[in-house]
Amino acid sequence: MMRPSGRNLSDMRPISIETGIMRHAEGSCLISCGDTRVLCSASIEEKAPPFLKGSGQGWVTAEYGMLPRATNTRNRREAAAGKQSGRTQEIQRLIGRALRAGVDRRALGERQIVVDCDVIQADGGTRCAAITGGWVALRLAMNKLLKAGIVTADPIMDHVAAVSCGIYAGQPILDLDYAEDSEAGTDGNFIMTGAGRLIEVQMSAEGATFSRPEMNQLLDLAEAGIAELVRAQNEAVACAG
Amino acid sequence: MMRPSGRNLSDMRPISIETGIMRHAEGSCLISCGDTRVLCSASIEEKAPPFLKGSGQGWVTAEYGMLPRATNTRNRREAAAGKQSGRTQEIQRLIGRALRAGVDRRALGERQIVVDCDVIQADGGTRCAAITGGWVALRLAMNKLLKAGIVTADPIMDHVAAVSCGIYAGQPILDLDYAEDSEAGTDGNFIMTGAGRLIEVQMSAEGATFSRPEMNQLLDLAEAGIAELVRAQNEAVACAG
Amino acid sequence: MMRPSGRNLSDMRPISIETGIMRHAEGSCLISCGDTRVLCSASIEEKAPPFLKGSGQGWVTAEYGMLPRATNTRNRREAAAGKQSGRTQEIQRLIGRALRAGVDRRALGERQIVVDCDVIQADGGTRCAAITGGWVALRLAMNKLLKAGIVTADPIMDHVAAVSCGIYAGQPILDLDYAEDSEAGTDGNFIMTGAGRLIEVQMSAEGATFSRPEMNQLLDLAEAGIAELVRAQNEAVACAG
Amino acid sequence: MMRPSGRNLSDMRPISIETGIMRHAEGSCLISCGDTRVLCSASIEEKAPPFLKGSGQGWVTAEYGMLPRATNTRNRREAAAGKQSGRTQEIQRLIGRALRAGVDRRALGERQIVVDCDVIQADGGTRCAAITGGWVALRLAMNKLLKAGIVTADPIMDHVAAVSCGIYAGQPILDLDYAEDSEAGTDGNFIMTGAGRLIEVQMSAEGATFSRPEMNQLLDLAEAGIAELVRAQNEAVACAG
Amino acid sequence: MMRPSGRNLSDMRPISIETGIMRHAEGSCLISCGDTRVLCSASIEEKAPPFLKGSGQGWVTAEYGMLPRATNTRNRREAAAGKQSGRTQEIQRLIGRALRAGVDRRALGERQIVVDCDVIQADGGTRCAAITGGWVALRLAMNKLLKAGIVTADPIMDHVAAVSCGIYAGQPILDLDYAEDSEAGTDGNFIMTGAGRLIEVQMSAEGATFSRPEMNQLLDLAEAGIAELVRAQNEAVACAG
Amino acid sequence: MMRPSGRNLSDMRPISIETGIMRHAEGSCLISCGDTRVLCSASIEEKAPPFLKGSGQGWVTAEYGMLPRATNTRNRREAAAGKQSGRTQEIQRLIGRALRAGVDRRALGERQIVVDCDVIQADGGTRCAAITGGWVALRLAMNKLLKAGIVTADPIMDHVAAVSCGIYAGQPILDLDYAEDSEAGTDGNFIMTGAGRLIEVQMSAEGATFSRPEMNQLLDLAEAGIAELVRAQNEAVACAG
């Protein structure tokens, strides 16, 4: 079988992570996974949300957006529509939850880091790119806190990265682009730590239900993909000095 | 280990499904899973959404709500707040997606069925109860269409039911109530067909990441739970005549 | 003349009030007036609204909602529409005002009771059922406060109950169901105390204006209806122990 | 007993109705009831609302607003707040309902008249002034339709006017100003036709419940007040020529 | 060339400013510039906005509205639409900015003055009339503060007035009415002090771009117009005593 | 005098315009004016807005946004806030108006071009950069229409570019960055055509009023700046082939 992208079943798209892309942010990067490009920034706020007052713990949250013309046909600007879609809210809740799973919130102390993920160009897998790139922005912001001595123990416990998998024309494939995603019978996202532990599994039948053996094949693919993403994260952080 | 509920690790809560609870709806039921109670109704609309115009296919969608005092402390009414929360939107998108996976939308024809799931009392697992009960309401509405000859081939392909699982105090458990849910390190929902195929898997680490073997144990539990729910659905539909 | 319901001009529909229907609420009931069914709950909040700060007085307020399929054709969910309709707001203001008329707010002290009235099934007279049932939920919550010694003097001064009347085919009738309501030339609601004093009179010509003698006949009917409702309230509260 | 205004129990405030105050509107007036001043305009739209399409009947609707500084302390502008208050919606629904009761909607034909009532200065009784003045604007717009031959039979069946009454310091009084209104135990509004038939009765206990004999005294006062308002309407329309 | 209004190129429309028109406001006027009529009120609030806390400085802000039937065809009420249009927001930001340019905010002290400008009738130039009339309302409110000794040094540094200019049929004209405004190739507003200094220049090509010499001719016209408006402001304030 | 940026009074910041930055858009560029960076895209829609139906004319409109962390401290995301600020609306109205002034809407035909301008990084002058870059995106989209033969006569009549000027420490300066902008007594924007005709002049006193001679000096600066921007536009379009 041939994937629309011409890739092998277990091939990822080329990954690039360019750091320091937004001058004002405490941490930032532009992550490209093939033609999907997401700007990620991390903003430190010296105030935790009210529900953590006095708890000694911090918070990491995320917001997600997409430029109106990131996609093939222009989407309505959410700010003009007057509300974020259910899809946007679902994605940003997912990003925040995923990133928090890799953070020791007590080591962070009572402050909040807001990770903004804005899709500049979309070609499938934007939420996974946002998580993988968002972690780099978060890592850089944490480095700033450590360097300034504001935080003494590293609040980052491990990498967090995400990749999509799906069943396309009856075959399990890794890292779906838009053309593959829109045809896949089942697809989903796996979020894992650098150590290979699971943070989140979201598999969803869009046209055809799936079996446990298929689910296991998808997990195998995901583990390989995550390892590749973690390497890219490490390189980007190393380059940022 | 003792669960807060005193149940064994693989015990479901008592299930009851009372049909015909809302006089005006084409299909309806009140589902109780322990202390969680959800009113489900299915409304037939003889017009599909605009994006299906001329496609010959129908649509199934869902809306979810919770009475302000369904919970231990009163929640703000979403209608008064002026918008549905991200959580509500995420849940109702999930319910709709799950129910559609069990429907032949071509057999349904160009009409829409709206399944409303309103939580009267909450004690964990409301989205799973909504899916399981929503399917019964949908089944009854389909029966009405078949009986009236409006639809000739049964649009229902199989049961759809959902159950939660989680890792509590290091042990995999089935069908979490609120006390268990709020303490579980990992939890999630499995949505399956009557034939045991997977529709949706959503596992999420809320405090502790999880391993593949743990994920497999949770799937084992879920399969048993779903079978029990499908039996309850069958009984309820049979009673409804 | 025959009413669509087959009832005599001065007949009420069967009333039933089931208490304790919502486990979490301090007071709750399901009131049925014929096919109209409303879930009522009372939630105690140990904080009065800001405008009463330091006044030594409490507040009783109400919110009203209707499940989308409580009616013959499905209504749009207000939470999804993003606002409460003018009708909803008008009704919940009325319920709150009516219940406050039966409460000694100084005896209540600086706390607030929120009465939620959610219509499960509608067949005319939902606002009257909400007031009558809302009072029962309020009474039960007050009993809890008294029993716990949080409040020492009973803040309830008298019953509050409501009934609709109207002029149908030229004849004054009591307790209109939906079929009667939608055809009545004039209709309205009377809210009264257990002692028969008037709290609110709302008569409105929907198609034909009315005279003072007609208004007096409607008041006669209302007085009889209210007496019956007060008896049902007493029984329900007695059963709740 | 002395009223704060120094008026006798059955005294109305001075009424003035200046017509033609808004150049663009088909009918308009500035009504003053004492210090309460309301700008009323009637706008003819050659299209009835969708629910009347093909019915041969027209519609009359109303909108109500208040300038932020119409009152003693500045109120937030509703357009800035992003929604109309429950009070505003309740009032404008009342005005529309009241005016429709005096209109033969079949004679009007499939068109709509929107009556805008904007309070320039408030001193109690703004909804009553809006109804009484709104009727004058409506009457003038109807005259325009008749004169132009667009409508052949007069759609106005009778005057519609409104007045407030209340129980102040134990005494029934007519046409309450703000000082009286804020202290009255019971108050309400009576809307009547020129022939003295009732359109709407809204009596509400704000602090003390009331008896049937009191209700009858209030109706006596209202009948006298309405007669005076109808005279003022007639004079204004006559002047407008 | 003949202007639609029959005026000479440099003719203003008749100006009238009637003060004290809104009993409750600390300063108010009704300004008429030809058929354009705007109600202006100034409300003193003894609390500056949060961002000025502790600064010793006050604030002047403005809100702008238009009655639905101020115009030839009825506009939707912004409060009903649920938001202020971009045009409204742009205008009220302009009014506030202009008035602040004439105020010594330190002399005002930590309080806020809200100037409400509501257009009763529109015939072009409503924002200019709002600024010119808004200044009179502000001046009167300041006089009240001075008289009461709440403020000791006059916070008003100079007059603020505004006039429109444009290029109509190739000719520069002053003070455009609606018919002229809707045909002008270029138009704009000049806001100036009593001393003839510029506060704001807003020239905009709506159909034809313009040259620097044309811009200078428009400025000449504006200077003459502003002088006339300042005289009218002085007379109105003098009359108000 | 020294500008905070160290530039001479009449120095522009370095300009760069990179085209083709957004794969899906019909025209796009990333414009950098110093540290201010704006992503501009032009989207062709084969449907004009309703008010132009049957007119034979097209429309050009613009939307403006800013990433939350484009600025020194994070701004709230407008999509999350549920509305666009007054500032955003004012800016996007300005961009649309400016671009339309350079377009022959009849030559465009009944279609619409939406220009999206999203600020990635802000350092003063974002609206000017958006106009200058937006024109490049528009030009490229028009080229596509011409090349495809959808449009036969070039709808672009001339360049449109914008630059800011202001009075800083008493001296007129060109192209203000954030540090200069926040201290300038007067500032504003000039929008001009390639031929040097004026499209829009917006000068505003933020702290100190200004004189006509100063205004003339600012216009001199603007003319020079616009010429430089037009050269950059030409180069970028030439590069894009």
Query: pLDDT at position B1, please?
Result: 64
Mean pLDDT of chain A: 96
Answer yes or no: do E200 and F199 touch at CB < 8 A.
Answer: no
Calculate how close chain C gets to B116, using CA atoms only, in Å: 7
Instruction: Looking at the structure, give the CATH architecture of the domain made up of residues A15-240.
Output: 2-Layer Sandwich (3.30)
Nearest Cα residue in chain E from F160: E209
- All residues of chain D having their beta carbon less than 8 Å from the beta carbon of residue C90 are 86, 89-90, 93
Is position E126 annotated in a ligand binding site? Answer: yes
Query: pLDDT at position D41, please?
Result: 98
- All residues of chain C having their beta carbon less than 8 Å from the beta carbon of residue D198 are 203, 205, 209-212, 215
Q: Are C65 and C95 in contact (CB under 8 A)?
A: no
Residue B173 CB: number of other CB atoms within 10 A? 26
Instruction: State the average pLDDT over residues A35-56.
Output: 96
Instruction: State the average pLDDT over residues D76-99.
Output: 95
Q: Calculate what percentage of chain C has a pLDDT beyond 90.
A: 94
Nearest Cα residue in chain A from F39: A120
Query: pLDDT at position A156, please?
Result: 98
The pLDDT tens digits for F64-100 are 999 999 999 999 999 999 899 999 999 999 999 999 9
Instruction: State the average pLDDT over residues A26-39.
Output: 98
Task: Return d(Cα F104, Cα F154) in angstroms, integer.
Answer: 8
Task: Return d(Cα C156, Cα C102) in angstroms, integer.
Answer: 6
Record the tokens describing residue A5, joined without a space. Answer: 């992208």
Instruction: State the average pLDDT over residues E174-179.
Output: 97
Residue B241 has pLDDT above 80, yes or no: no
Instruction: State the average pLDDT over residues D164-169.
Output: 95
User: pLDDT class for A1, splitting at 50, 70, 90?
Assistant: low
Instruction: State the average pLDDT over residues A28-35.
Output: 97
Chains that touch B (3 or more CB pairs under 8 A): A, C
Out of D101, D193, D209, the one facing C193 most closely (by C-beta) is D209
Nearest Cα residue in chain E from D46: E73
Record the tokens describing residue E15, joined without a space. Answer: 């100006």
3-state SS, F184-240, equals: CCEEEEEEEECCCCEEEEEEEECCCCECHHHHHHHHHHHHHHHHHHHHHHHHHHHHC
Task: Return d(Cα F75, Cα F85) in angstroms, integer.
Answer: 12
- Element holding E30 (H helix, E strand): strand E27-33
Calculate how close chain A gets to B28, using CA atoms only, in Å: 26
Question: How far are the Cα atoms of B158, D173, D177, E64 from residue D4, in angstroms, in the given order?
Answer: 75, 11, 9, 35
Task: Return d(Cα B188, Cα B180) in angstroms, integer.
Answer: 12
Mean pLDDT of chain B: 96
- Chain B residues within 8 angstroms (CB to CB) of chain C: 22-25, 28, 35, 39, 41, 43, 45, 63, 65, 67-74, 77-84, 88, 114, 116, 118, 120-121
Q: Are B126 and B119 in contact (CB under 8 A)?
A: yes
The pTM assigned to this predicted structure is: 0.91
User: pLDDT class for A185, splitting at 50, 70, 90?
Assistant: confident
Instruction: State the average pLDDT over residues C168-183.
Output: 94
Helix axes D126-147, D86-100, angle to 10 degrees: 40
Instruction: State the average pLDDT over residues C136-152.
Output: 98
Task: Return d(Cα C116, Cα C129) in angstroms, integer.
Answer: 12
Calculate how close chain E gets to F34, using CA atoms only, in Å: 27
Sign of CA dihedral C169, C174, C178, C182: positive
Query: pLDDT at position A113, please?
Result: 98
Nearest Cα residue in chain A from B187: A200
Residue E2 has pLDDT above 90, yes or no: no
Query: pLDDT at position B208, please?
Result: 85
3-state SS, chain D, equals: CCCCCCCCCCCCCCEEEEECCCCCCCEEEEEEECCEEEEEEEEEECCCCHHHCCCCCCEEEEEEEECCCCCCCCCCCHHHHCCCCHHHHHHHHHHHHHHHCCECHHHHCCCEEEEEEEEEECCCCHHHHHHHHHHHHHHHHHHHHHHCCCCCCCCECCCEEEEEEEEECCEEEECCCHHHHCCCCEEEEEEEECCCCEEEEEEEECCCCECHHHHHHHHHHHHHHHHHHHHHHHHHHHHHC
Answer yes or no: do C97 and D204 touch at CB < 8 A.
Answer: yes
The pLDDT tens digits for E50-109 are 999 999 999 999 999 999 999 999 999 999 998 999 999 999 999 999 999 999 999 999
User: pLDDT class for E1, splitting at 50, 70, 90?
Assistant: low
The phi, psi pair for E110, rounded to 5°, reads -75, 70
Record the tokens describing residue F200, joined without a space. Answer: 């829009």
- All residues of chain F having their beta carbon less than 8 Å from the beta carbon of residue E201 are 188, 201-204, 215
- All residues of chain C having their beta carbon less than 8 Å from the beta carbon of residue B72 are 24
Sign of CA dihedral B45, B46, B48, B50: negative
Instruction: State the average pLDDT over residues E206-211.
Output: 87
Query: pLDDT at position D206, please?
Result: 81
Calculate how close chain B gets to C214, using CA atoms only, in Å: 34
Instruction: State the average pLDDT over residues F127-134.
Output: 98
Hunting for tokens 């500045």 — which residue is that? D74
Q: Is A179 exposed, middle or buried (CB count within 10 Å of its CB: 0-12, 13-18, 19+)? A: middle
Answer yes or no: do A65 and F84 touch at CB < 8 A.
Answer: no
- Chain A residues within 8 angstroms (CB to CB) of chain F: 22-25, 28, 35, 39, 41, 43, 45, 63, 65, 67-74, 77-84, 88, 114, 116, 118, 120-121
Answer yes or no: do D121 and E24 touch at CB < 8 A.
Answer: yes
- Pick from F18, F69, F116 the residue to mutate for testing the A interface (most A CBs within 10 Å): F69
Record the tokens describing residue C142, joined without a space. Answer: 């007050």
Residue F151 has pLDDT above 70, yes or no: yes
Query: pLDDT at position D1, please?
Result: 63
Amino acid in position D145: L
- Pick from C26, C32, C69 the residue to mutate for testing the B interface (most B CBs within 10 Å): C69
Calculate how close chain F gets to A67, using CA atoms only, in Å: 8
- All residues of chain F having their beta carbon less than 8 Å from the beta carbon of residue A130 are none
List, in sequence order, every residue forming a beta bridge with D114; answer none if it has no partner. Answer: D43, D61
The phi, psi pair for A178, rounded to 5°, reads -60, -40
- All residues of chain E having their beta carbon less than 8 Å from the beta carbon of residue F199 are 204-205, 209
Task: Return d(Cα E127, Cα E96) in angstroms, integer.
Answer: 11
Residue F119 has pLDDT above 70, yes or no: yes
Nearest Cα residue in chain A from F113: A74
* Residue F190 C-alpha from the chain's centroid: 10
Task: Return d(Cα E80, Cα E65) in angstroms, integer.
Answer: 13
3-state SS, C113-149, equals: EEEEEEEEECCCCHHHHHHHHHHHHHHHHHHHHHHCC
List, in sequence order, every residue forming a beta bridge with A113; answer none if it has no partner. Answer: A44, A60
User: pLDDT class for C79, splitting at 50, 70, 90?
Assistant: very high
Is position C125 annotated in a ligand binding site? Answer: yes
Residue D128 has pLDDT above 70, yes or no: yes
Residue B132 has pLDDT above 90, yes or no: yes
Nearest Cα residue in chain E from D84: E79
Nearest Cα residue in chain B from A158: B209
Instruction: State the average pLDDT over residues F101-109.
Output: 97
Out of A41, A71, A83, the one facing F69 most closely (by C-beta) is A41
| Of C43, E62, C19, nearest in space to B73 by CA | C43
